[in-house]
Amino acid sequence: MAERMEERQLRIKEQLNRCGLKATPQRVQVYDAMCALGHASADGVYQHLGGESGPLTVATVYNVLESLTESGLLVRRPSFSNKMFFDVHTDSHFHLYREDTHEIMDFRDEELERSVAERVRAVLPGGLALDRIEVQILCHAKTDETRD
């Protein structure tokens, strides 16, 4: 059963408060949009909220995304299109980046993630410690001419 809007907004307000953020209407709207989108740029969130006919400016959306990132609710994900995306999934995982649509999707393979992390730790120069690994796998829609 789908979560009702009132329940969803209450849950979002609680999440914001737990992270030390005041649950302003702008933060609730932007975080709700990010939960629906998963990965999005400031422009993508702005468009999702109605664009120029919506309640917020692009600058407000960007500022809210930054505050949500600083609080730990979102993670920045740079893309190969030179556009900054934000991700509601803050845990470790890889991404598929569709070059044809500029869409970012989660790609989860715990064994692959573990293997990559082990290999990186084994070859890191002395004095360095691994913080995290971010992998983007570039792909596009298959066509009849596409070969794997």
Query: What is the structure's pLDDT at 77?
Result: 86
**Same domain as 86, residue 100:** no
Query: What is the structure's pLDDT at 120?
Result: 95
The residue out of 52, 71, 90 marking a domain boundary is 90
Query: What is the structure's pLDDT at 59?
Result: 95
pLDDT digits (tens, 9 = 90+) for 125-142: 999 999 888 888 999 999
Using CB atoms within 10 A of its CB, is residue 60 exposed (0-12), middle (13-18) or buried (19+)? middle
Query: What is the structure's pLDDT at 80?
Result: 72
**Same domain as 33, residue 8:** yes
The residue out of 90, 110, 128 marking a domain boundary is 90
Q: Higher-confidence residue: 55 or 119?
A: 119
Domain encompassing residue 13: 1-90
pLDDT digits (tens, 9 = 90+) for 17-31: 999 999 999 999 999
Query: What is the structure's pLDDT at 92?
Result: 87
pLDDT digits (tens, 9 = 90+) for 58-105: 999 999 999 999 999 999 987 777 788 999 999 889 999 898 888 889
C-alpha 47/C-alpha 54 separation (Å) is 8
**Same domain as 86, residue 96:** no
pLDDT at 119 over 90: yes
pLDDT at 2 over 70: no
- Average pLDDT over the chain, rounded to an integer: 90
pLDDT at 112 over 80: yes
**Same domain as 69, residue 103:** no
Closest CA to 92 of 56, 119, 131, 63: 131
**Same domain as 70, residue 140:** no
Phi-psi region of 18 (alpha: psi -120 to 50; beta: other; left: phi over 0): alpha
Query: Which CATH number characterizes residue 133's domain?
Result: 3.30.1490
**Same domain as 68, residue 3:** yes
**Same domain as 79, residue 146:** no
**Same domain as 64, residue 3:** yes
Number of domains present in the structure of the chain: 2
Query: What is the structure's pLDDT at 148?
Result: 57
